[in-house]
Amino acid sequence: MPMKGRFPVRRTLQYLSQGDVVFKSSVKVMTVNYNTAGELSEGARKFVFFNIPQIQYKNPWVQIMLFRNMTPSPFLRFYLDSGEQVLVDVEDKTNKEITEHVKKILGKSKEMLEKEERERKKLSHPATFGPKKYHLRECMCEIEGQVPCPAFVPLPKEMRGKYKAAMKNEA
Amino acid sequence: PAWAPRAVPARGRKTRHDPPAKSKAGRVKLPPPVDPEELLVVQERYRQHRLVLSALRAEFRAEVLQKKREERLAAEGSPEELEEHRRLMAWNEEENARQRARREERLRKEEEEQKRRKSEIAEKRARKMEAFLEEKEKEVLQLQEEAKNFITPENLEARIEECLDNPRNYNFAIDKDGRIVRRTVLS
């Protein structure tokens, strides 16, 4: 299957999950105004090309709109749910600087993300076993230190019901 | 639960195409006997039980959701959060102001650059015009100088006499080294 697009690495899950901008829950819409030509919009163009897929992957419920060649200088505008609009001027900035800036003003901090991660972990206990959807392991035989699955390693004679019944009958 | 449909129906030894056994020839399958009053009573009791249970479940679910929502709102609308938000917005404003300053600086520089270039071009053009005029001046002067030696109808006779009196010999010999020799005699 051929790779699609100019930089197909942008479509890989590994690349997308490397995005570290997770918006606060108050951010609803992100709008990017930029130009397709011009030295000053270069950073904005790279941002749109490389970083926006990462951001959208991490924030699937944020609407992102792109406007091309509508204003002489590029900028970002965020619409929060309180009605507040945040304007960010990105003229003459590289795409890395833009992501850093955005992460600083509207991204969830690392502590918050870690806290949420911990909360999510608390809901499920890793030691339990059951259906793959809810647990890590399906059967007790998969856990280290337990009796291996009799499908792969036959049980010793003493543990098999056949032997035990035979012994009882003998006695 | 027992009333759930089984994934694989148990068929035993025969397939669906095998005929039933001769011993089952006159078999009439009847549903289990049901006492109608008992049925009504039991159904009514089950209906009430299930009603109460589902109501309780919905109640508890709503309570849990409410608690979660309240906790989330409290976490969001706390004064520290608002303070933090305002601080970040202020920082953003500063950043924008800095960017504005940088942009104005850049525009100013560009304007200066343009003006400088324009003045340079104007200077060059002026200089070229001057040089051109000088050239023309020189040519005019040279022509004036030469005009003194022109032959006019007045000094025609005099000039002819002059030329006839002083014959000029234009003949000369030259070798490959560039030495010229004027030895020919005008006849």
Residues 112-171 of A with CB under 8 A from B: none
Burial class, A28, CB count within 10 angstroms (exposed 0-12 / middle 13-18 / buried 19+): middle
Q: Which residues of A touch B99 (CB under 8 A)?
A: 89, 91-93
Most confident option among A94-98, B72-76, B134-138, B142-146: B134-138
Q: pLDDT at residue B141 above 90?
A: yes
**What single DSSP character describes residue A32?**
E
Q: Is residue B121 part of a domain?
A: no
Closest CA to A137 of A122, A123, A126, A147: A126
Q: Which residues does chain B have within 8 Å of residue A106's beta carbon, measured at their own beta carbons? A: 88
Task: Name chain B contacts of A26, Cβ cutoff 8 Å.
Answer: 76
> Taking CB atoms and an 8 Å cutoff, what residues of chain A touch B96?
87-89
CATH superfamily of A8-109: Glutaredoxin (3.40.30.10)
Determine, for residues B102 and A92 on separate chains, whether the beta-carbon distance falls below 8 Å.
Answer: yes
In a domain, B65, yes or no: yes
Spatial strand order in the sheet of A85-89: A63-68, A27-34, A75-80, A85-89
- Residue numbers of the domain that contains B48: 38-76
Asked if residue B163 belongs to a domain, the reply is no
Instruction: List, for residues B33-56, the tens digit of each pLDDT value.
Output: 999 999 999 999 999 999 999 999
Return the DSSP state at B34.
Answer: -
Find the CB nearest A91 among B89, B92, B103: B103
Would the pLDDT of B76 be above 80? no
Task: Identify all chain A residues contacting B71, using CB atoms and an 8 Å cutoff.
Answer: none
The pLDDT of residue A64: 96
- The whole-angstrom separation of Cα B180 and Cα B16 is 134
Question: Phi and psi at residue A40, in whole multiples of 5°?
Answer: -75, -25
**Mutation site, B93, B99, B104, B107, interface A, largest A CB count within 10 A:** B99
What tens-digit pLDDT sequence spans chain A (171 residues)? 688 999 999 999 999 999 999 999 889 999 999 999 989 899 999 999 999 999 999 999 999 999 999 999 999 999 998 899 999 999 889 999 999 999 999 999 899 899 989 988 898 898 999 999 999 999 999 999 999 999 999 999 988 899 999 999 998
Q: Which residue of A lies nearest to B102 if distances are taken between CA atoms?
A: A92
Q: Which residue has the higher pLDDT, A4 or B58?
A: B58
Residue B48 within a domain: yes
Instruction: Please give the model's pTM, rounded to 2 decimal places.
Output: 0.65
Taking an 8 Å cut-off on Cβ atoms, the answer to whether B96 and A88 are in contact is yes
Burial of B81 (0-12, 13-18, 19+ CB in 10 A): middle
Q: Is B7 domain-assigned?
A: no
Averaged pLDDT of chain B:
91
Whether B10 has a pLDDT exceeding 80, the answer reads: no
Query: Which chain A residues have a beta carbon less than 8 Å from that of B102?
Result: 92
Residue B88 lies in a domain: no
Rounded CA Rg of chain B = 61
Classify residue B102: in a domain, yes or no: no
Q: How far is B98 from chain A (nearest CA, A)?
A: 10
Band of the pLDDT at B2, cuts 50, 70, 90?
low
What count of CB pairs under 8 Å joins A to B? 30
Query: Domain residues of chain A, as ranges?
Result: 8-109, 124-170
Q: Which residue of A has its CA nearest to B85?
A: A105
Would you list the DSSP string of B104-157? HHHHHHHHHHHHHHHHHHHHHHHHHHHHHHHHHHHHHHHHHHHHTT---SSSHH
Q: Which of A87-91, B51-55, B160-164, B173-177 has the highest mean pLDDT?
A: B51-55
How far is Cα B29 from Cα A47, in angstroms, rounded to an integer? 74
Nearest-CA distance A88 → chain B (Å): 7
Chain B residue with minimum CA distance to A102: B92
The answer to whether the Cα torsion of B171, B175, B178, B179 is positive or negative is: negative
**What are the distances in angstroms from CA B185 to CA A162, B167, B171?**
151, 11, 8
Please state the domain count of chain B.
1
Residue B44, token pair as written in the block: 């009514």
> ipTM value of the model?
0.74
Strand partners, A87: A77
Distance, CA of A162 to CA of A164 (rounded, Å): 6
